[in-house]
Amino acid sequence: MTYINKEIKQNHIRIYELAKYIGQTVRVCGTVHKIRAMSGFAFVILRTETALLQCVYDEKTANFSVAELKENMSLCVTGLVVADTRSKVGFELQMREIEILSVPYEEPPIVISGKEVSTSLSSLLDYRPLTLRNEKERAVFVVQAALARGIRTFLEQNRFVEIHTPKIVSGSAEGGANVFGLDYFGTPAFLAQSPQFYKQTMVGVLERVYEIAPVFRAEKHDTSRHINEYTSIDLEMGFVEDFTELMQLETAMLSFAFAFVAEHCAREIALLGAKVPKICGIPAITFAEAKAMLCAPDGDDFEPTEEKRLCELIYKQTGSELVFVTHYKTSKRPFYTAENAENPSVTDSFDLLFRGIEVTTGGKRIHDYETQVRKMQRLGMDVNAFASYLMAHKYGLPPHGGMGIGLERLTAKLLGFDNVRRATLFPRDVNRLTP
């Protein structure tokens, strides 16, 4: 028997700690990203975790030949840390010796060490395991992680409890045809389109809950805005009197999360040339007002071009790149959405549009059992099929509401991408199931 100590032993220095070792000889590990060789001298760019490290090879001081190195080789370098103001990280490494840990089998078919990966979106995604190694491509997902972390931090400060709800479900929350079916030991089941039923149920248990987890939509349209599996940031809270409180919460949350990203990912944001909005407040406009502003024909929803133009108009008028649209028609919103007390043909609901596209859907829900059942009956729904969902209402549920935010869409818009796939690690669409 041996004994595993909780002290983590590390035989190499991590990139984040390196600034403390200026003037010292250290062992650093990474992968060769790029080699620029001159006569007897070379720059070797090492790809480490989330940063690139410039290593300087000089045949006079190194005990190996630079010809031994090739791109995508993993190694540990022993060398001297030298302050260098030209370097982004403030220092570089003078190479003394190397230990090669791993050698690639093949030259990559796509160059990943350039500023950008010069290829089509389709190849970018086909070769995702490789192309993600590009500095800009991977920066997208460092930003995405920080964005989710900022949101999580805000929610935890506001005492939302994280929950984990099932993705294999017996019924569909959003209705419609775009649901994936599967066989569950002989019973037909579905992949959850959202954690809607469960998060509402949990309002009756813990009052404020959130979940950041995959949701599934069998969307047959191959557009730049849709993917068939995405990460949904879902939250739900009790004792909401007016659905404006939900928009306030989202405003505060995005204000916090965007500032969090700006602070923690300054390098990645600069690298990607993105602009992170500072949010103090967000304008809100009703759906009817928005349609009027657009001089658009009435309808249940916006066309994608209308969403885009609305954002442009609001930006010109207010300087805000975000806008809430409220009071969507009752006919368009799911059966659990609360109707407006003064005008039941519209709902106490909202979408948030950001740089031309919807990134959030939210609203107040129906909390009263009889009101909900009557509405379902009116819509011709089979109330019995929803018995386990309605249990929460039946035994008492406070007034509540919540929202769902698409993490990939939010990341894409934050970084100025037109296609949500650019901000999806391994996207799934009607034509794509790998990698």
Which long-range contacts does 328-335 make (Cβ < 8 Å, 24+ apart)?
328/287, 328/300, 328/301, 329/287, 329/300, 331/300, 332/300, 332/301, 333/363, 334/173, 334/174, 334/175, 334/196, 335/175, 335/372, 335/375, 335/376, 335/379, 335/381
Supply the angle between the helices 135-157 and 407-414 in degrees, to the nearest 10: 120
Phi-psi region of 176 (alpha: psi -120 to 50; beta: other; left: phi over 0): left
CA 285-403-345 angle, to 5 degrees, is: 50
C-beta separation of 389 from 363 below 8 A: no
**Residue 221 C-beta: closest distance to a copy of itself, Å:** 12
Residue among 124 and 282 whose Cβ is closer to a copy of itself = 282
**Residue 428 C-beta: closest distance to a copy of itself, Å:** 5
Residue among 241 and 331 whose Cβ is closer to a copy of itself = 241
Residue 170, helix vs strand vs coil:
coil
**Residue 308 C-beta: closest distance to a copy of itself, Å:** 18
C-beta separation of 365 from 337 below 8 A: yes
**Residue 422 C-beta: closest distance to a copy of itself, Å:** 14
Residue among 71 and 92 whose Cβ is closer to a copy of itself = 71
Q: What is the DSSP string of 415-427?
A: TT-SSGGGG-SS-
CA 99-103-108 angle, to 5 degrees, is: 140
Instruction: Determine the Cα–Cα distance for residues 388 and 170; give it in Å rounded to an integer.
Output: 10
**Residue 429 C-beta: closest distance to a copy of itself, Å:** 9
Residue among 141 and 335 whose Cβ is closer to a copy of itself = 141
Residue among 84 and 245 whose Cβ is closer to a copy of itself = 245
Residue among 208 and 355 whose Cβ is closer to a copy of itself = 208
Q: What is the DSSP string of 228-246?
A: SEEEEEEEEEE--SSTHHH
- Burial of 229-250, coded b for 16+ CB within 10 Å and e otherwise, reads bbbbbbbbbbebeebeebbebb
Residues 6+ apart with CB under 8 A from 220: 178, 430
Q: What is the DSSP string of 247-268?
A: HHHHHHHHHHHHHHHHHHTHHH
Residue among 91 and 258 whose Cβ is closer to a copy of itself = 258
**Residue 58 C-beta: closest distance to a copy of itself, Å:** 25
Q: Which two tokens stand for residue 334?
A: 């799911």
**Residue 315 C-beta: closest distance to a copy of itself, Å:** 13
**Residue 271 C-beta: closest distance to a copy of itself, Å:** 15
**Residue 39 C-beta: closest distance to a copy of itself, Å:** 27
Residue among 35 and 247 whose Cβ is closer to a copy of itself = 247
Instruction: Determine the Cα–Cα distance for residues 373 and 368; give it in Å rounded to an integer.
Output: 9
Residues 6+ apart with CB under 8 A from 321: 277, 311, 315, 354, 355
Residue among 89 and 145 whose Cβ is closer to a copy of itself = 145
**Residue 388 C-beta: closest distance to a copy of itself, Å:** 3
Residue among 156 and 303 whose Cβ is closer to a copy of itself = 156
Dihedral angle sign, alpha carbons of residues 341, 343, 347, 352: negative
**Residue 361 C-beta: closest distance to a copy of itself, Å:** 16
Residue among 60 and 154 whose Cβ is closer to a copy of itself = 154
What strand order describes the sheet that includes 208-216? 161-162, 208-216, 229-238, 400-406, 357-364, 349-354, 322-326
C-beta separation of 14 from 47 below 8 A: no
